[in-house]
Amino acid sequence: MENMGLKYLITGATGFIGANIVRSFLDENNEIHIIVRETSNLWRLNDIVKDIIIHYCDINDSDKVERVISALKPDIIIHNAIYGGYPFQKDSMKIINTNFLGTVNLLNACIGYGFKCFINTGSSSEYGGKNKPMSENDLLEPIDDYGVAKAAATLYCQSIARRYNLPVFTLRLFSPYGYYEEPTRLIPYIITSCLRNEDIKLSNPNPVRDFIFIEDVIEAYKTVIKNAQYLTHGDIFNIGTGKQYTVKEVFETIKEIIGYNKEPLWGTAEGRVSDTFKIWKADVTKSKEKLGWEATHSLKEGLTKNINWFTNNLKLYTR
């Protein structure tokens, strides 16, 4: 699919992943529209806000969403509005409303407008714990409200895609890291603490995750859009590296790159239920074979780029 000069609508654009999506597609001379709440903090977009078109709308307001979509009729919709991905986001009703009902409102509003591609951003949290790499066909057994809501949203998108024969797809992201990430997240927290030579408080050295660099994630979105006309409507793709690393391995890699000379204060931060699983990584067979995408950055390569960015943008993370 030729994607130059298309009209994009991106939700969740003020967040870590959404802001990177906006920046990447803006570089390709597309017309970028974003949906944000009146209270949204635009710090990740401040330098480019003049180049994008902002629609102030809560995706839980179905009437407002319908009016925005009706007026705009976007070619490409990238749905990335989430709540509950961080441990401090615990409001169950807000998790359900934003992740599931917000998705229902947005997709329902788009059904009649002939869009070229709708990408729903899913999560590995939909799977719950498995004793093997997670595959798109695995039984969904989420262990928290966030996973439940994301799984429901994915299933709804798949149902609508099949029912109306629409180009709707879900990318199940594993553990993205990169530019503009929330400062309290593991990797930016370690990087900024190392750069400032501060003590680092961590819960446990052993939890594992499939960490994937943001540039690889963005390339996955671009690949879906490029190939949308050839993909099965409703398809789901894992977006990970197929490799997992412990928190300790991530810390040691960052420590080596930066030259930090302290050890973490293990056991001084709160852990998560998912920290107990021995395997948490993607089976990326389908993404490679059917989508034609795979991650190209090793952990060290991605962290090196990320550290360079944080070094040059540390002022954005001033406490």
Query: Which pTM was predicted?
Result: 0.95
Q: What is the pLDDT of residue 7?
A: 96
Residue 1: the pLDDT is 46
Distance CA(139)–CA(254), nearest Å, equals: 35
| pLDDT tops 70 at residue 2 | no
CB neighbour class for 38 (10 Å; exposed up to 12, middle 13-18, buried from 19): exposed
Paired residues of 173 in beta bridges = 123, 239
Position 3 scores a pLDDT of: 47
Domain layout of the chain by residue ranges: 7-176+212-239, 178-210+242-278+296-314
Confidence band for 86, pLDDT divided at 50, 70 and 90: low
Please answer whether residues 109 and 102 qualify as being in contact, where contact means their C-beta atoms are separated by less than 8 angstroms. no
Nearest C-alpha neighbor of 123 from the set 91, 105, 102, 100: 100
17 touches 176 (CB < 8 A): yes
Q: Among the CATH numbers 3.90.79.10, 3.40.50.720, 3.40.50.450, 2.60.120.560, which is that of 7-176+212-239? A: 3.40.50.720
pLDDT band, very low/low/confident/very high, at 84 (cuts 50, 70, 90): confident
* CA gap 307, 314 in Å, rounded: 10
Write down the CATH superfamily of domain 178-210+242-278+296-314: UDP-galactose 4-epimerase, domain 1 (3.90.25.10)
pLDDT tens readout for residues 27-58: 888 999 999 999 999 999 999 999 999 999 99
Helices 299-312 & 186-195, crossing angle to 10 degrees?
60
Question: Which long-range contacts link 253-257 to residues 24+ away (Cβ below 8 Å)?
Answer: 253/299, 253/300, 253/303, 254/187, 254/190, 254/191, 254/194, 254/303, 254/307, 255/194, 257/300, 257/303, 257/304, 257/307
pLDDT band, very low/low/confident/very high, at 319 (cuts 50, 70, 90): low
- Average confidence (pLDDT) over 93-115: 96
pLDDT tens sequence across 8-27: 999 999 999 999 999 999 98
Range of lowest pLDDT (74-88, 89-103, 111-125, 281-295): 74-88
Task: Dig out the tokens for 205 from the structure.
Answer: 């050295």
Summarize pLDDT for 199-257 with one digit per residue, the tens: 999 999 999 999 999 999 999 999 999 999 999 999 999 999 999 999 999 999 999 99
b or e along 272-283 (b: 16 or more beta carbons within 10 Å of the residue's beta carbon)? eebeebeebbbb
Over pLDDT 90: what percentage of the chain? Answer: 91
Over residues 132-143, mean pLDDT: 98
pLDDT average, residue stretch 143-154 = 96
Decide if pLDDT at 5 tops 50: yes
pLDDT digits (tens, 9 = 90+) for 73-83: 999 999 999 88
Average pLDDT over residues 79-88: 80
